[in-house]
Amino acid sequence: MRRSLDENGTCHCVFYTTINSTSLQHLEELMNKYEKVLSRVSEFAQLFEGQDNQVSKMVYKMQSSAFSSYKAPTFSQLRLELEEAQTLVEELKMIEEMKDSQGLFNQLQGQVANASFTLRLLSDSDQRSFMALRQEVDTLEGELKECSCAHRGLYKVSMPLVVKSNWRGVSYKAGAWGRDWDPNANTTLYWVAPLRADLRYFDYYRLYNSYEDLLLSKNYKELYMGYGDGSGNAVYKNFMYFNYYGTNDMAKLDLSSNTVVLQRSLAGATYNNRFSYAGVPWKDIDFASDEKGLWVLYATEGTKGNLIVSRLNENTLEVEKTWYSSLYKPAMSGAFMACGVLYALRPLSTRQEEIFYAFDTNTGQEYYISITLDKMLDTLQGINYSPFDHKLYIFNDAYLVTYDLTFLTRKQAKPFGVYALSKPIN
């Protein structure tokens, strides 16, 4: 073997052997294949080293299908190619004309073995890193959710902000609206669902990609659905939930396709205006979403009209857990959920409402509270809470109105007028 350096400092090696051209061709193919494989292994090593200080990029790749799909198949393919290279080296060593090159083959065989070992380490390290990072992200997500509810309950409500009238006009006084809530995505989707003038039938709705689009009435989708009963709609993770017309069925509407993908009866729930809210007809079944998930508020004949709070499985609409309150549902004008706590409203006058009652599903306790809420017009038909911005989105006699909520910090004392009910929860 002869070595030389060119003017650029590149090393050139010339290897003399007695093997024929066919054998040399096999050897050249093997070397080229090995160099290609080793180069790919090196690229993957650099990739994973480069990701150590790029957690945000790793999280993004974990959430994308591309990351999970490339990892295992690529390492498997590299492993197979290295095994083929090892087999080729063994075959070449057996050729009689190549006995003089046994040292080279042994060296090459060792390099392939080292590459295989490196690949195995990378694969194992990647798997461990992936699982550790996934566990850390899950933990952080859980802590973040807990942190968002690290308060002592609702403290006050701001003055109302009138955004605009609903897109169907002021004669359509009932309905619901809000912002899509997805704890895993910062969605900016807004929705508006006015009922017909009869205050009952939900048939059309609009979707806006941003608050600006909503204000300017642009870039919207107007869709016909045609099966809803009342203004108890809520949107959670790009699905709208509503009471199916004339039944006690819960319906799940995919907003991407405008298709009802699931319909399920809510066992025992009354409907057809049996136990709706005071002054708000046809709202027997009322959906809500918050930091804790998807909820449904209703009453049954068995509870004699008293409010029931149930947490739903968003995928199946099965009731996961139920809480029974001592509050008569028709005595309320509406309700919303925030951090697993139900807050109930009642009218004080044509221009004021009171949040007068709270039921904490985290502790099973219920409370009387007194927080006033000014209103522009008489009736609050649809009430939805958004954990994104801690706002109430209220449909107030044809107008879209928002309120900012302020919660008590852990260090603040409980405000005057808040006290626990003496009646225990069953």
Query: What's the 3-state SS for 218-272?
Result: CCEEEEEEEEEECCCCEEECCEEEEEECCCCEEEEEECCCCEEEEEEECCCECCC
**Residue 333: pLDDT over 90:** yes
Output 323 or 64, whichever has higher pLDDT: 323
Structure-block tokens of residue 246: 């004339």
**Residue 237: pLDDT over 60:** yes
pLDDT > 70: percent of the chain: 66
Average pLDDT over residues 217-222: 96
Closest CA to 237 of 250, 252, 224: 252
Backbone angles phi, psi at 113, to 5 degrees: -65, -40
Q: Does the domain formed by 154-420 have CATH 2.30.30?
A: no
Output 418 or 209, whichever has higher pLDDT: 209
**Residue 313: pLDDT over 60:** yes
3-state SS, one letter per residue, for 140-177: HHHHHHHHHCCCCCEEEECCCEEEEECCCCCCCCCEEE
- Alpha carbon distance, N-terminus to C-terminus of the chain: 90
- Other CB atoms closer than 10 Å to residue 47's CB: what's the count? 11
Output 119 or 341, whichever has higher pLDDT: 341
368-414 per-position pLDDT tens digit? 999 999 999 999 999 999 999 999 999 999 999 999 999 987 766 56
Contacts of residue 127, defined as CB under 8 A and 6 or more positions apart, other chains included, come to none
pLDDT at residue 234, as a whole number: 98
pLDDT > 90: percent of the chain: 58
pTM > 0.75: no
Structure-block tokens of residue 178: 């809000």
pLDDT at residue 72, as a whole number: 45
163-178 per-position pLDDT tens digit? 999 999 999 999 999 9
Interior CA angle at 386 toward 232 and 354, to 5°?
70
Gap between the Cα atoms of 56 and 37, Å rounded? 29
37-65 per-position pLDDT tens digit? 555 544 544 544 443 333 333 333 334 43
Domain range list for the chain: 2-148, 154-420
175-214 per-position pLDDT tens digit? 999 999 998 888 899 999 999 999 999 999 999 999 999 9
